[in-house]
Amino acid sequence: MPVQPAGKGEALPFPDADLMYVVDLLAPPERDRYFRIRQFLQSSVRQQSIEYWNREEFPFGLLADLGKHGLGALQLDGSSTLFKGLMYVELARADVSLSALAGIHNELILGMISELGSEEQKARWLPGLKTFGQLGAFALTEPDHGSDIAGGLETSARRDGGEWVLNGAKRWIGAATIADFALVWARDVADGEIKGFIVETDTPGYAATRIANKIGLRIMQNADIVLEDVRIPAASLLPGATSFARTNDLLRDSRAWVGWQGAGIQLAAFDVARAYALNRRQFGRELAAFQLVQQQLADMLGNASASLALMAQLAQVQQDGKLEMVQAAMAKATVTRLARASVAMGRSLLGGNGISSDYEMGKLFGDAEILYTYEGSYEINSLIVGRAVTGRSAFH
């Protein structure tokens, strides 16, 4: 579906739904690049993604095209924080699964190896990752540990001469069945520290099984991983990730990234709802002429605009080096809460057609639930904010 839906004989006054002119905050070269990539995503990804979503199938051809547009190297190409964020907006506006893949890829795979990897690891993996010629999976969450993973992580790592031996299980790991390697977090039995290891997915003892029948993020190939006496060279340890504390900044930034996704899915829902309202007729009139429909559209756009404005300010805080977990958690919780509400209004506006992915809104409705839950659930992020503003922890 194009960004500007078909009106009835006249141009829409705000075809891009950016009433606060957030894109105008970009420097001219980045603004030009933004519009080029947005056009590609809208024309070559958005509609094509629906059938892949229906089939829970990964679109390898689309991934290659994302690489050609530089979306595999956002973390390292010198882009401003605002530009990176707006790219995640437009990726989510086209397809939330692909925005999740690109975000994890940049924030947690490319970023981790660049910041915490050895020179040999960087030389081995970064060139292919930058073009999406290679993929990594970020293997942290476990079957019995999600929100409490830092204290509860059970996957073990044992040094045995010139090798590490890994045992354990991971769950909900994106791209684990199609990745070239997994960045596995395991607890060193010798010192109790959580450390990061690069495990190539063809290593004996590594097994990944796709999780099927999800209500959202269906293009993303989430998986269960079993690690059974997986032996990897000692050099597979990320030298900068010998303590979990070293990863906190990148994990914090990835939490903020989900806020951008939440803004993007709201713009997608607004695109679909506005186009539908302008083209659907009931009782002899366009839906767009009814007061209740206009109210829903105004509320959806208000939520999206508030989300974009919050994320634009967060980008400035991040660019200035002032971002803390409390701001990232507040942004993620707030924007995904608004996204859930906005997409629900869009689903309602489309009536019965809103439950079908054929009209796209049903796809967005399922994907919004995933954004509300992953990278720290809404409730956990709210408690992080509550702890920061009261000095009292509601969880341990």
CATH fold group of domain 22-130:
Butyryl-Coa Dehydrogenase, subunit A; domain 1 (1.10.540)
Mean pLDDT score, 32-39: 97
What is the spatial distance between Cα 392 and Cα 265, in angstroms, rounded to a whole number? 33
CATH fold group of domain 136-242:
Butyryl-CoA Dehydrogenase, subunit A; domain 2 (2.40.110)
Residue 6: CB atoms within 10 A of its CB come to 10
Lowest mean pLDDT among 2-11, 73-82, 306-315: 2-11
Tokens 């997986």, residue located: 230
pLDDT tens, 36-49? 999 999 999 999 99
Does 7 score more than 70 pLDDT?
Answer: no
pLDDT of residue 152: 84
Query: What is the rounded average pLDDT for all residues in the chain?
Result: 93
As a CATH number, domain 246-390 is: 1.20.140.10
% of the chain exceeding 90 in pLDDT: 85
| Contact call for residues 166 and 139 (beta carbons, < 8 A) | no
What end-to-end distance do the CA atoms of the chain give, in Å?
46
Split at pLDDT 50, 70, 90, the class of 15 is: confident
Split at pLDDT 50, 70, 90, the class of 249 is: confident
Mean pLDDT score, 184-194: 95
Q: Which pairs from 154-160 meet CB under 8 Å and 24+ separation?
A: 154/187, 155/184, 155/185, 155/186, 155/187, 155/227, 156/186, 156/187, 156/188, 156/189, 157/186, 157/187, 157/188, 157/189, 157/195, 157/197, 158/188, 158/189, 158/190, 159/188, 159/190, 159/234, 160/231
C-alpha angle 344-346-347 in degrees, rounded to nearest 5: 65
Does 3 score more than 50 pLDDT?
Answer: no
Does 311 score more than 60 pLDDT?
Answer: yes
Which one, of 161, 180, 32, lies nearest residue 105 by Cα?
A: 180
Split at pLDDT 50, 70, 90, the class of 251 is: confident
Q: Quickly list H helices, the chain.
A: 28-44, 48-55, 60-68, 81-94, 96-103, 111-116, 119-130, 149-152, 248-279, 291-319, 325-349, 361-373, 378-390
Tokens 């083209």, residue located: 279
Does 8 score more than 60 pLDDT?
Answer: no
Map out the domains of the chain as residue ranges: 22-130, 136-242, 246-390
Does 238 score more than 50 pLDDT?
Answer: yes
More confident residue, 255 or 365: 365
pLDDT of residue 6: 40
Lowest mean pLDDT among 12-26, 60-74, 155-169, 176-190: 12-26
Lowest mean pLDDT among 9-23, 34-48, 116-130, 270-284: 9-23
Tokens 């059970």, residue located: 154
Does 316 score more than 90 pLDDT?
Answer: yes
Query: In a 3-state reduction of DSSP, which class is residue 64?
Result: helix
pLDDT of residue 11: 66
